[in-house]
């Protein structure tokens, strides 16, 4: 069994991370009734005897003593991290695994990347090495950050280069929150563009998310909950947005519901690697199957179901509905319409009491309405994990490598151009040591090249799939 380390950077990253750890604890508590420290839980948590001072406290087997998250928390402001450390999750985090500063990055990618990057490089390396040492077999780093700010965007992407150099064999999965149209940070296009270049070059897989989509999903759920239709009571604890659990009484902060969706995404992504099932899928298989060309590693994700109705008997029609929903544009975590774009590859990660025949039946059913690239007509990767998420009997996470990410990138480029043409706020960046105009132009061309690759693939959409002439053998 392998372990993963979560690195949460910046305000957004840390808030999402906090929800993630809460949910992870809940999930393992539900599965692991006997409180034994087993391999599944060791993928994200260490078992520590807190009475032992210093580093010797790690326990590898037996009863759970005290769980510590395999996490590194980084923020250049103290507010968010302090709040986490004073909140109900304070014992889950190892106080030595934090890096904080006071002044913050001022929504400036250059400050996060260049200034704090060089300032904290040694410390970051040290914390990362420590967490890697605690792992038997480290497979994956999960980086959570936002693209629009300064710390998450700048320092978060600086980290990627460090990870690549120091841990070349470990996968880097990046969960990036992209700014939506009505983002209130004026310089977010600059920050996002500069961060994109780093993601292009140093991440293995990126899961783009945008706030607007998360918000739309929440609205949908609220509508359902409040519609009060007869006989459609929602099962408690089943909302993909709910963070209720041991901490029911806690005041829900405004972004909590949205962050929980992302937390669920990460849990479902790793479920097949942690728990048993009839068709396992490890994290290294995600990159292998979904990234046909090194540059095209942006995966659009969708989660279903969003809630479970209290109806105990779930006919297979509901199951099929779950599969259909995964492909609808209302369930995507980024604004995208995969059904009307071109699929390069698609992964379906199913949890719960679903068998291979259900999976196959639904693939057959949905295939005709989806367009796959000519050289990957049957580009499906599937996995079945027997353990369902808390509050559901089954769930589905769909990861698609689809050209529908292109509009997001094009919009990003346009917003960037609007600012850059006027050279608005540019001086805030250029005054930082190490920053030059070429940083901007290089980032632009990197993004343009990426968009171009997607364009080329889209162009093949309308061409009929032809079989290429095969090798001829002299008989």
Partner 1 sequence: MEPKVINQTLSKAAHSGRWKYGQHSCFCQKQGSGNNWAYGYSVHGPRHEESIMNLIQKEVEKCDSLNGFFIIMSMAGGTGSGLGAFVTQNLQDQYSNSLKMNQIIWPYGTGEVIVQNYNSILTLSHLYRSSDALLIHENDAVHKICAKLMNIKQISFRDINQVLAHQLGSVFQPTYSGEGSFHYRRNPLGDLMENLVPHPEFKMLGVRNIPQMSENSLAYSTFTWAGLLKHLRQMLISNAKMEEGIDWQVRPPLSGLPTLGKMSLNKEFHFNTSIANLVILRGKDVHSAELGAFKDPALYTSWLEPVHAFSVWKTQRAFSKYEKSAALVSNSQFLVKPLDMIVGKAWNMFASKAYIHQYTKFGIEEEDFLDSFTLLEQVIASYCNLGF
Kindly give the pairing relationship between strand 67-69 and strand 45-48: antiparallel
d(CA 246, CA 92): 14
Q: How far apart are alpha carbons 160 and 74 in whole angstroms?
A: 13
Place of tokens 């260049």: 114
Query: Which of 186, 233, 288, 449 forms a contact with partner 1 (CB under 8 A)?
Result: 288
Residue 475 touching partner 1 (CB under 8 A): yes
Rounded Cα gap, residues 344 and 378, in angstroms: 10
Taking the complex as a whole, the smallest distance from the CB of residue 86 to partner 1 amounts, in Å, to 36
Query: Is 2 a residue that touches partner 1 (CB under 8 A)?
Result: yes
As a whole number of angstroms, the distance between CA 218 and CA 401 comes to 24
Select from 32, 66, 212, 287 the one that contacts partner 1 (CB under 8 A). 287
From the list 250, 292, 321, 325, which residue makes contact with partner 1 (rule: CB under 8 A)? 292
Give me the least distance between CB of 357 and partner 1, in Å please.
4
The two tokens of residue 274 are: 């942690």
Bridge partner list, 100: 75
Instruction: Report the nearest approach of partner 1 to the CB of residue 347 (Å).
Output: 8
Q: Which is nearer to partner 1, 282 or 411 (CB)?
A: 282
Q: Name the nearest CA neighbour of 106 among 76, 82, 63, 137.
A: 76
Kindly write out the interface string for residues 161-200 of this chain, putting x where it contacts partner 1 by CB under 8 A and - elsewhere.
Answer: ----------------------------------------
Q: Could you give the CA distance from residue 283 to residue 285 in angstroms, rounded to a whole number?
A: 5
Rank residues 100 and 280 by Cβ distance to partner 1 and give the closer one.
Answer: 280
**Sole binder of partner 1 in the list 293, 310, 423, 434 (CB under 8 A):** 293
* Binding to partner 1, residues 108-137 (CB under 8 A): 136-137
Using CB under 8 A as the binding rule, whether residue 379 contacts partner 1 is answered as yes
The widest CA-to-CA distance across the chain, in whole angstroms, is: 78
How far lies 427's CA from each of 422, 431, 437, in Å?
Answer: 12, 6, 10
Instruction: For residue 375, say if its preceding peptide bond is cis, omega within 30 degrees of 0.
Output: no
- Is residue 378 involved in binding partner 1 (CB under 8 A)? yes
Instruction: Indicate whether 291 belongs to the interface with partner 1 (CB under 8 A).
Output: yes
How many chain residues are in contact with partner 1, going by CB under 8 A? 46
Cα separation, 3 vs 138, whole angstroms:
5
Which residues contact partner 1 (rule: CB under 8 A)?
A: 1-2, 39, 136-137, 139, 276, 278-280, 282, 284-285, 287-294, 345, 355-358, 360, 363-364, 367, 374-382, 467-468, 470-473, 475
């Amino acid at each position: 069994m392998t372990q993963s380390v979560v690195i949460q950077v910046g305000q957004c990253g840390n808030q999402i991370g906090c929800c993630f750890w809460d949910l992870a604890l809940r999930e393992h508590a539900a599965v692991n009734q006997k409180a034994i420290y087993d391999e599944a839980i060791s993928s994200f948590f260490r078992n520590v005897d807190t009475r032992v001072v210093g580093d010797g406290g790690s326990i590898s087997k037996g009863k759970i003593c005290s769980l510590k998250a395999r996490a590194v928390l980084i923020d250049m402001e103290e507010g968010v991290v302090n709040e986490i450390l004073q909140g109900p999750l304070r014992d889950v985090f190892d106080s030595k695994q934090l890096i904080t500063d006071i002044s913050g990055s001022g929504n400036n990618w250059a400050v996060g990347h260049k200034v704090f990057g060089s300032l904290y490089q040694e410390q970051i390396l040290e914390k990362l090495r420590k967490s890697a040492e605690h792992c038997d077999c480290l497979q994956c780093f999960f980086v959570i950050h936002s693209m629009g700010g300064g710390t998450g965007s700048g320092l978060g992407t600086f980290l990627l280069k460090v990870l690549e150099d120091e841990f070349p064999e470990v996968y880097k999965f990046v969960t990036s929150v992209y700014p939506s149209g009505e983002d209130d940070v004026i310089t977010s296009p600059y920050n996002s563009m500069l961060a994109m270049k780093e993601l292009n070059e140093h991440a293995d897989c990126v899961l783009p998310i945008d706030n607007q989509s998360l918000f739309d999903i929440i609205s949908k759920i609220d509508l359902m909950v409040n519609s009060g239709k007869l006989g459609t009571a929602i099962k408690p604890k089943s909302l993909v947005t709910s963070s209720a659990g041991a901490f029911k009484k806690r005041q829900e902060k405004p972004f909590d519901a949205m962050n929980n969706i992302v937390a669920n995404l990460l849990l479902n992504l790793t479920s097949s690697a942690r728990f048993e099932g009839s068709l396992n899928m490890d994290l290294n298989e995600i990159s292998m199957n979904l990234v046909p060309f090194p540059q095209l590693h942006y995966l659009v994700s969708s989660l279903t179901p969003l809630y479970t109705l209290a109806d105990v008997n779930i006919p297979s029609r509901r199951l099929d509905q779950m599969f259909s929903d995964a492909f609808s544009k209302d369930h995507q975590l980024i604004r995208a319409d995969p059904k009307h774009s071109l699929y390069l590859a698609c992964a379906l990660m199913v949890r719960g009491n679903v068998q291979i025949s259900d999976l196959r039946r639904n693939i057959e059913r949905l295939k005709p309405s989806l367009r796959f690239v000519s050289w990957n007509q049957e580009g499906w990767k599937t996995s079945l994990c027997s353990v369902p998420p808390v509050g559901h009997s089954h769930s589905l996470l769909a990861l698609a490598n689809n050209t529908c990410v292109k509009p997001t990138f094009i919009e990003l480029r346009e917003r960037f151009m609007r600012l850059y043409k006027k050279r608005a706020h540019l001086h805030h960046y250029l005054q930082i040591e190490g920053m030059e105009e070429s940083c901007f132009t290089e980032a632009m061309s990197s993004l343009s090249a990426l968009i171009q690759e997607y364009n080329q693939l889209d162009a093949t959409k309308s061409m009929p799939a032809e079989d290429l002439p095969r090798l001829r053998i002299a008989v």
